[in-house]
Amino acid sequence: MQTPTEILSAEGPLAAKISGFAVRPQQQEMAEAILSALLDGNKLIAEAGTGTGKTFAYLVPALLSGKKVIISTGTKTLQDQLFQKDLPVVRNALSVPVTTALLKGRSNYLCTYRLNNIAAQHRLSPQDTDSLERAKDWSSQTKTGDIGELNDLPEDNGIWNLITSTADNCLGTDCADYNKCYLVNARREAQEADVLVVNHHLLFSDMALREEGFGEVLPGANAFILDEAHLLPELASVFFGVSLGSRQLNELARDTIAAQINSAGDTPELRKTAETFEKNVRDMRLAMGKEIRRSSWQALKDNKIKSALETVNETLQSLIAQLNIASERSKELDACAKRAELLHSRFKQITNSEEADYIHWFETYKNSFVLYMTPLNVASIFQERIAQYHSAWIFTSATLAVGDSFDHYTRHLGLHDTEARQWQSPFDFEHQALLYLPKNLPDPNDKSYTDSVIDAAVPVIEACGGRTFFLFTSYRALNRAAMVLKEEIDYPLLVQGSMPRAELLERFRKLGNAVLLGTSSFWEGVDVRGEALSCVIIDKLPFAPPDDPVLQARIDIMRRNGGNPFMEYQLPNAAITLKQGAGRLIRDVSDTGVMMLCDPRILGKPYGKVFLRSLPTMPQTRELSDVEHFFDNQYADKDEWEEELDFV
């Protein structure tokens, strides 16, 4: 059998199959380290800089190992790309008899039972009716039931909530369509596959189910490879806590009404109670204030909100009592009764308790809300959960270390005794990139800061000929920039929120001279290669908002325990986020570009060195003229850079 190094060499099978395949020693070393961990059943943390080719670096050993491997990615988009593009390429090149499967969460699969009964259960708007017809046309052709196949119907279209299932409303083996259920078929294929591709949300859902004693979603495996592993600490906080949203409560009310109409028409009081409950949930949202916010549970302690909470609780108890009486009428009513009991238990847990190890907080949206109980520390919980699988674990990403230290990451996931290795990007940042730190910007807290950043950015955008990602740490700054730049530049302006993210990126690539304004969702997971993206501008160092309730609670606990929350938590998180943003710039061996980091704290504060050490090594300048020369291609080699550039 060939080694990973041989497979990833110039004479290997991948080079023979892939045009332009580049040999990267970092990729070969990483693949060897991962194969060793898989065969020995160990844990490994592997940071691979942009361009290392980490996907092939873990796919090759996964297919060579002979183990049953579950690969988890950060998003469904990356999951689809891995399964549909990267995995088939490697499997075909290696010619190994390995079976593969793709598995997503249940909300990604069409529920034929709900589709066939939707007309009787819901009154649809003309827009929803049109969406439903498109979904029905697709349903007659699909083999997988994966809603991602229907590209012209976005995932946030409301019709999907009505024709997919949740763990709460699924009828399970009692469903008349169980034997042809797309989700059941996908899970069956997952059980039989040698290599299974999932996403982190599904993985954490499986961990939660195992802990609660409700079985499992994922099959047993010898090894787990977690790509985009920098997302794990935040996701663990969400999934290892308790949450309850108005959407779940409203869906219970609507499903109860639909089931009452179909199976218990002689119980009008049940329908009336469900309608009252839905109204009370809406009233609770109104009592929480008009603004959209994230805040501590303590902010909901006024009498008006207390009254709304009590009313929702009382109505839910009445609904449970009536559902228990009617539950024998149909499987749907019985399922609603069980859901109501579960949601009531969560509601009481979140609203009545003040557990010391959890943060109680809430988030409001325009017409909805979510209540949360989030654990302060997930390290011990995470260790307990992964120990249940008795498997090898590989954690990989381009951004896990702060500088050359993994302490921040290992501390938050309890991976203290885990081997951690780092492979630098093979891209030549010293020749391909320039870091521009503009002069004379005010303090980021100054009211004029955003306007000053925009003024400094305009000549850079002009020098670049558009072709820019302008990344912000707040929507307020983004909206201000959108308003000003509309008048200041002649290049196409694309603004986050004006259209779906995928469409924005596609337009950016096709236009070739556009300026895209984005916030957090564009800092990572975005791959634009070539000249279309030649400049990344970042307005501020990406510290988390200090008024975030989860962050504030963790800061308070760390201070009480004698820690330094800024140095131990806030600064490392911000450095990792900055690495993600910087990673958008150079995506290929031939890419060149300028990264403009506007925040004066990177030079004015001692901690600025932490950020600089976390970035790829590249020339730095404070002179706009150097940026203009860069884009004019006036410097041909490294010696000329060192002689001419005004280094920081």
How confident is the model over 170-227, as pLDDT tens digits? 888 888 899 999 999 999 999 999 999 999 999 998 887 766 544 567 888 999 999 9
Kindly state whether residues 490 and 633 are assigned to the same domain.
yes
Which one of 146, 166, 184 terminates a domain? Answer: 184
Q: Are 197 and 87 in contact (CB under 8 A)?
A: yes
Kindly state whether residues 500 and 439 are assigned to the same domain.
yes
Q: What is the pTM of this model?
A: 0.88
Position of tokens 């041989």? Answer: 6
For residues 549-556, average pLDDT: 87
Tens-digit pLDDT profile for residues 482-521:
999 999 999 999 999 888 888 899 999 999 999 999 998 8
| φ, ψ dihedrals at 360, nearest 5° | -100, 120
Query: What per-residue confidence (pLDDT) applies to 648?
Result: 42
pLDDT at 27 over 90: yes
Q: What CATH number is given to the structural domain containing 301?
A: 1.20.1440
Neighbouring residues of 493: CB distance < 8 A, sequence distance ≥ 6: 482, 485, 486, 514, 515, 517
Kindly state whether residues 218 and 176 are assigned to the same domain.
no
Kindly state whether residues 299 and 231 are assigned to the same domain.
no
Q: What CATH number is given to the structural domain containing 558?
A: 3.40.50.300
Q: How many domains does the chain have?
A: 4
For residue 38, give both structure tokens: 């898989």
Amino acid 272 reads K
Burial class (CB in 10 A: 0-12, 13-18, 19+), 185: middle
Write down the mean pLDDT value for the chain. Answer: 90
Tens-digit pLDDT profile for residues 324-375:
999 999 988 999 999 999 999 999 999 876 777 888 889 999 889 999 999 9
Neighbouring residues of 514: CB distance < 8 A, sequence distance ≥ 6: 466, 467, 468, 491, 492, 493, 494, 507, 508, 532
Kindly state whether residues 160 and 304 are assigned to the same domain.
no
For the stretch 522-531, what's the b/e string if a residue is b when 16 or more beta carbons lie within 10 angstroms of its beta carbon? bbbbbebeee
Kindly state whether residues 368 and 383 are assigned to the same domain.
no
Which one of 140, 164, 184 terminates a domain? Answer: 184
Candidates 258, 260, 250; CA nearest to 280 is 250
Q: Are 292 and 364 in contact (CB under 8 A)?
A: yes
Amino acid 348 reads K
pLDDT at 638 over 50: no
For residues 520-539, average pLDDT: 89
Kindly state whether residues 501 and 638 are assigned to the same domain.
yes
Kindly state whether residues 231 and 280 are assigned to the same domain.
no
> How does DSSP assign 460-527, residue by residue?
HHHHHTS-EEEE-S-HHHHHHHHHHHHHH--S-EEETTSS-HHHHHHHHHHHSS-EEEE-GGGSSS--
Confidence of residue 624 (pLDDT cuts 50, 70, 90): very high
Distances (CA, A) of 639 to 609, 612, 642, 643, 644: 25, 22, 5, 6, 9
Query: What per-residue confidence (pLDDT) applies to 174?
Result: 85
Kindly state whether residues 386 and 276 are assigned to the same domain.
no
Secondary structure element (H or E) that encloses residue 70, with its range: strand 69-73
Kindly state whether residues 11 and 37 are assigned to the same domain.
yes
The range of the structural domain enclosing residue 260 comes to 242-375
| φ, ψ dihedrals at 311, nearest 5° | -65, -45
Kindly state whether residues 585 and 631 are assigned to the same domain.
yes
| φ, ψ dihedrals at 525, nearest 5° | 70, 20
Kindly state whether residues 261 and 368 are assigned to the same domain.
yes
How many angstroms separate the CA atoms of 37 and 35, rounded?
A: 5
User: Residue 166: left if φ>0, alpha if ψ -120 to 50, beta else—which one?
Assistant: beta
For residue 312, give both structure tokens: 């929702």
